[in-house]
Structure 1
Amino acid sequence: MNGIRKALRDGLVPPPPSAEPVKHRDAGVWTIPNLFTLLRFLLIIPAVISIFYIDERPWLPLTLVAVFSLTDWVDGFLARLLDQYSAIGAKFDPLADRLGLGLVVIALAWEGLLPWWAIVIIATVDLFLLFFILLMDAHQAMRVNWIGKFRTALTMVGVVAVLAGPAFAQPVLSTIGVLCVEVGAFLHIITGVQYARLAWLGRRRFR
């Protein structure tokens, strides 16, 4: 029980910027958390395609995107609970975030469910983040902060709320979701600059 509480706490409370990164034993590629990360990659294309058919099957994109968003938390929780940290997981987990969320919001904008200006901001920042994630050395992980956690949670909740509007025939849910995504887009700029700077400094420090 104490292990579960600690895993939950560590997932909700990011370490202070001054804290030294905790070194963990690399559990390798085939771990339970990495299987959830793989599941998230496999969900991206079906989730995006289902958005284009939201009028016929409004529950399908809501379900797929909700599962994608939930497993973003599950893989990190399991890595902490089972002590199954891996270098490849630390690299591909944020990659799944950026790729999946970016394609989902583009599909929503294409269907007229999100404003294009917010999508352009998110997609542009994500492209730069993808570049820096791939640039990072294998042992490095993208260290999160309060703003980053709040931005990711707010954007994912917003996207799910946008999809919940058609599914429940409640337009107010979609309106709330759009507002969440718009606020998340502005926070995206701040966190994008911070993450890019940390990734670059970390890479130079390693070299």
Structure 2
Amino acid sequence: MSQPTRRVLTVPNVISFVRLLGVPVFLYLLLVARADVAAAVVLAVGGTSDWIDGYAARRLRQVSRLGEILDPLADRLYIAATLVAFTVRGIVPWQLTAALVARDVLMGVVLLALRRRGYAPPPVHYLGKAATFVLLAAFPLLLAAAAVPAVAMVAGVTGWALAWWGLGLYWIAGGMYAAQAAAALRSTAATDGRR
């Protein structure tokens, strides 16, 4: 795999920028306009484009440092915005939101600890991407279950199965990131102790 470039204007980065613009559009549609079906479409497109930007980066050999920041940022913003909006609208219970937010708070603490010691964030691994993908697949289904009575049963069961699966994967991935960070910090402490 080639090294990330410093290019800004790449196909994957444009996709990530559009994904970021989709967050306020989604929030407007869900919370202000109450256009639930349109909000579900924006959410589904945002989730699908998460896979597309990564595929395009690898396929077109346009992996960039900016993309390595934008992609997870867009993921976190979509997840956070969706959880807050869904909780406000009563689509998901606050306990699910709290569990997902708590994991992101844990990761924030881990990243701060790494940064203080001069480390970059741990590399994204497959399980973390899988957790995000499963959650981003669950959210449009949960919204469809709340908004479209004709599909409520199937969308609800599938959406909740994915949401709980995604929550579990999200925490397992968080634990793996935390373990990687702890190993790096222990290594630094051991090296400092030998000096």
TM-score with structure 2 length normalisation?
0.79
> Are 1:97 and 2:75 an aligned pair?
yes
Query: Residue 183 of structure 1 is aligned with which of 146, 165, 176?
Result: 165
Point out the structure with the larger helix share: 2
Distance 1:148 1:25 in 2: 20
Structure 2 residues without counterparts, runs of 5 or longer? 189-195
> Are 1:194 and 2:176 an aligned pair?
yes
Over the aligned positions, Cα root-mean-square deviation in angstroms equals 2.9
> Are 1:150 and 2:108 an aligned pair?
no
Structure 2 CA distance for partners of 1:197 and 1:41, relative to 1, 3 Å: farther
Displacement, 1:141? 6.5
> Are 1:88 and 2:66 an aligned pair?
yes
Contact preservation (8 Å) 1:109, 1:119: yes
> Are 1:41 and 2:20 an aligned pair?
yes
Distance 2:187 2:71 in 1: 23
Structure 2 CA distance for partners of 1:187 and 1:130, relative to 1, 3 Å: same
Bigger Cα displacement from structure 2, 132-141 vs 174-183: 132-141
Distance 1:92 1:132 in 2: 19
Structure 2 CA distance for partners of 1:120 and 1:140, relative to 1, 3 Å: closer
Q: Deviations over 1:112-132 (max 9, x none)?
A: 111211110111112333455
Displacement, 1:61? 0.7
The residue type equivalent to 2:132 in the other structure is T
Structure 1 residues without counterparts, runs of 5 or longer? 1-21
Greater Rg over alpha carbons, structure: 2
Distance 1:44 1:90 in 2: 19
Match of 2:193 in 1: none
Match of 1:163 in 2: 143
Bigger Cα displacement from structure 2, 183-192 vs 65-74: 183-192
- Partner SS state of residue 52, structure 1: helix
Give the aligned length: 184
Distance 2:185 2:29 in 1: 38
Distance 2:162 2:119 in 1: 33
Query: Residue 51 of structure 1 is aligned with which of 9, 21, 30?
Result: 30
> Are 1:77 and 2:58 an aligned pair?
no
Contact preservation (8 Å) 2:139, 2:163: yes
Contact preservation (8 Å) 1:91, 1:138: no
